[in-house]
Amino acid sequence: MDVIEHFSIVPAYAVSGLLVGTLVGMTGVGGGSLMTPLLVLMFGFHPTTAVGTDLLFAAATKTVGTTIHSAGKTVDWKIVRRLAAGSVPATILCLLLISYLGVTSKTVTNIISLTLGVALILSAIMLLFKDIIIKQLNRRFPQAGLDSPAWLTIAVGLVLGVLVSLSSVGAGALGTVALIILYPRLPIVRIVGSDIAHAVPLTLLAGLGHWYLGTINFHLLTSLLVGSIPGIIAGSYLARYSHDRILKLCLGAILAVVGSRMLLK
């Protein structure tokens, strides 16, 4: 009976998963950018619980995406290895820091809220101004990315490891833009595939670390997965009929407002 209750479905969480999944399917915006602040601000979950649960949620959903991209040979595993070389050590260090300070301590709460706010605002900027940023960087540094050293990709992985471990946000919007700048000759589909593939070990390691620390809510995780799977399918279908630019403009504004709210929380 305890096991059944442990994985029971909570309708409100399932509906949230459905809505977020639909938006992700329609826009491609990472679920963490939407789900984590929703769990903190609307449902009142402790930031560590929201982040930890969302990380395992992301690992499950991104595994499906990686399988599809891998089958289509749209993953550059060299880039994935370079990113992981930076993100895995960063993730382990962040988890050790959380464990040392205490998962429910005010210091950890403040660190996660600050990181989440910054990551959301950066994601909003990338969502709204990605094309302009990339165009300006390519114009100013025309030789950039023609022979990118491995350490730059490793450094990007390190930053993503910190952001994702502490906020569950950043692997999608920030990682994709960074890879486009570092590897401008690589087809976008391989950039996206490589970014998703890297997100699997990153979110899984961080999620398992949070599980060990006791910050996972399985009622929540199960409900989110039940709602998000049909949501992503529906959103992917609706994307054919939606106005992509208007949706991303609205989402970017929402992320900026929510990010600011997290910084002032």
Distance CA 251, CA 254 (A): 5
Dump pLDDT digits (tens) for 84-132: 999 999 999 999 999 999 988 999 999 999 999 988 898 888 878 878 8
The residue ranges of every structural domain in the chain are 2-264
42-46, 78-82, 167-171: least confidently modelled range: 167-171
CA 158 to chain centre: 14
Run of H or E residues at 30: none
CA 27 to chain centre: 14
> In Å, how far are 63, 124, 125, 143, 151 from 181, measured between CA atoms?
25, 18, 16, 11, 14
Category of 45 on φ-ψ map: left (φ > 0), alpha (ψ -120 to 50) or beta: beta
What pTM value is reported for the model?
Answer: 0.81
Dump pLDDT digits (tens) for 28-76: 666 778 888 889 888 999 999 999 998 988 887 777 766 765 676 778 8
SS3 233: helix
